Structure 1
Amino acid sequence: MDTILSIKKLNKRYGKIHAVKDVSLEIQKGNVYGILGPNGSGKSTTLGIVLNVVNKTSGDFEWFEGKLSTHDALKKVGAIIERPNFYPYMTAEENLKLVCKIKNISFDKVIEKLELVGLLDRKDSKFKTFSLGMKQRLAIASALLNDPEILILDEPTNGLDPQGIRQIRDLIKIIANQGTTILLASHLLDEVEKVCTHVIVLRNGVSLYQGLVDEMLANNGFFELQSEHLDALIKVISNLEAVDKIEVKDGKALVYLKAPLEAGELNQYLFHQNIVLTHLSKRKISLEEQFLKLTN
């Protein structure tokens, strides 16, 4: 699989603040990557460095396996890292044609991209009349005019209403299905879980996890258990090899697993140990719980 972007031991300092600390990652063609982390975690700084708008302190990055200089490589990159900035009294089509002139791109793609982002019927409307979600979709159309190999988005749904969020997420899926690699930064767990194939978790500039979203969610889960004899339940269940740890919360035993264990198997075992359950529920550890576990 082709490597579009490779980052090795990247660092960025702002005085005493170490914004990015030894971050390494690889972006492979054809995937949707989410850089996930709270505000101030180093997501935007990392994107700014690879887009040549922020100077690195140390470390390396290369585009397209070093076959192109950064200047030439960025011609194959589409990016939105700030709020959409177009001329308010120009129409959507006029604004995109202006972008084409600046980037020396043919006008041929303007109508195609307006249709892709669902704004073809508003091509003659002035930018100032657009909602925030429409402005964001126009910005995505602008970033796609050169048919980039990778689209980079920084907090693409920030500030949007639920309908606008859904439209942007659906659009990201459509673009990805057409073969464009996507790298987006977000602090929204739901966003990463719904649109990304891979996730990189950052906290205070440090990479805590990298891998498939499905792998992060593919855990053995945990049981919620209740019994009139909770202490005896905990004592008995502690002897099971599949059990990793036990927590008590709101009168329930939360039994976290390190190996597969089925609910029926557990219930039968406890019954034979004279423990009768009044509540049994098996749950997967959500992306939110995994994220909080990592970042805490």
Structure 2
Amino acid sequence: METILTIDHLNKKFGKIHAVKDVSFEIKKGNVYGILGPNGSGKSTTLGIILNVVNKTSGNYKWFDGKTDTHHALKKVGAIIERPNFYPYMTAEENLKLVCDIKGIHYDKVDEKLEVVGLSDRKDSPFRTFSLGMKQRLAIASALLNDPEILILDEPTNGLDPQGIRQIRDIIKHIASLGTTILLASHLLDEVEKVCTHVIVLRKGEVLYSGSVHEIMASEGFFELQSENNAELKALLQHHSAVDKIDEEDGKLYVFLKSPLEATDLNRYLFQNNISLQHLVKRKHSLEEQFLQLTNHQ
């Protein structure tokens, strides 16, 4: 699979603030990547560096396996890293044609990209009449005019209402289905879980996890258990080879696993050791739970 972007031990310092700390990851063609982290985690700074608008302190990055220099590589990149900035008195179509003039792109791309973002019926409306969500969709259309190989979005649903968020998510999925690689930065776990195939988790400028969304969520999970004698139940389970740790809350044991264990096998094991359960539920970690575990352990 072709590598679109390689980031290798990237660092950025603003005075005493180490905003990006030894960050490394790869972006492969055809996937949707989410850089996930709270505000101040280094997401926007990392994007700024690879888009050549922020100077790195040290480390390296290369586009398209290093076969193209950054200046020419960025011609194959579409990006929105700031709020949309169009002329308010001009129509959607006129604003996009102006972008075409600046970038040397044929006008026939305008209608095509307005269709992609669902704004064809508003192409003759002045930009000032657009809602925040429509402005963001027009910005995405603008970033797509050059048919980029990768689309980079910084907090694409920030400030939008639930309907606007859903529209942007659907557009991102549609663009990805057409074969465009996407890299988006977000502090919203739900956004990354619903849209992305891969995730890079950042905290205070450091990478805590880099891999597929499926893998980060596909841990062995945990059991909720309860019996007449939880102390006896806990003592027995502490010696089980599949058990990682046990927490107790509100009369229930939360048994976290380090290797696979099915509910039927656990129930049989406990019954053979003279323990009958009043409550047994097996759960999987959500992305939110995994993210909190990652960030709380640092």
Does TM, normalized by the shorter one, top 0.5? yes
Q: After alignment, is 268-277 or 80-89 more displaced?
A: 268-277
CA distance in 1, matches of 2:26, 2:267: 44
- Counterparts of 1:191-230 in structure 2, within 5 Å, are 191-230=191-230
Classify the secondary structure of the residue corresponding to 2:245. strand
| 1:128 corresponds to | 128
Partner secondary structure for residue 225 of structure 2: strand
2:59 equivalent in structure 1:
59
Shift of 1:272: 2.2
| Other-structure match for 1:15 | 15
1:122-161 maps to which residues of 2 (within 5 A)?
122-161=122-161
Provide the C-alpha distance between the structure 2 equivalents of 1:11 and 1:261, rounded to a whole number of angstroms: 41
Instruction: Find the counterpart in structure 1 of residue 180 from structure 2.
Output: 180
Deviation at 1:264, TM superposition (A): 1.5
Q: Which amino acid aligns with 1:196?
A: C
Alignment of 1:65-104 (within 5 A): 65-104=65-104
Deviations 1:114-139 (A, max 9, x none): 01100000000011111111110000
**Runs of 4 or more consecutive aligned structure 1 residues displaced over 2 Å after TM superposition:** none
Partner of 2:257: 257
Equivalences for 1:275-294 in 2 at 5 Å?
A: 275-294=275-294
Question: In structure 1, how many angstroms separate the alpha carbons of the residues matched to 2:198 and 2:267?
Answer: 36
Distance 2:26 2:150 in 1: 13
**Which residue does the alignment assign to 1:45?**
45
How much does 1:26 deviate? 0.9
User: TM-score w.r.t. structure 1 length?
Assistant: 0.99
Alignment partners' CA distance in 2, 1:54 and 1:69: 17
Q: Cα deviation per residue 1:172-195 (whole Å; 9 max; x = unaligned)?
A: 010001000000001111111111
Measure, in 2, the Cα distance between the counterparts of 1:69 and 1:270: 62
Q: Any unmatched runs of 5+ in structure 2?
A: none
Tell me which residue corresponds to 2:5.
5
**Number of residue equivalences:** 296
Percent same amino acid among aligned pairs? Answer: 77
What is the alpha-carbon root mean square deviation over aligned residues?
0.8
Deviation at 1:290, TM superposition (A): 0.6
Q: Whole-Å Cα distance in 2 between the matches of residues 52 and 25 of structure 1? A: 17
TM-score w.r.t. length of structure 2 = 0.98
SS of aligned partner of 2:90:
coil
Shift of 1:269: 1.6
Separation in 2 of the partners of 1:58 and 1:259?
A: 40
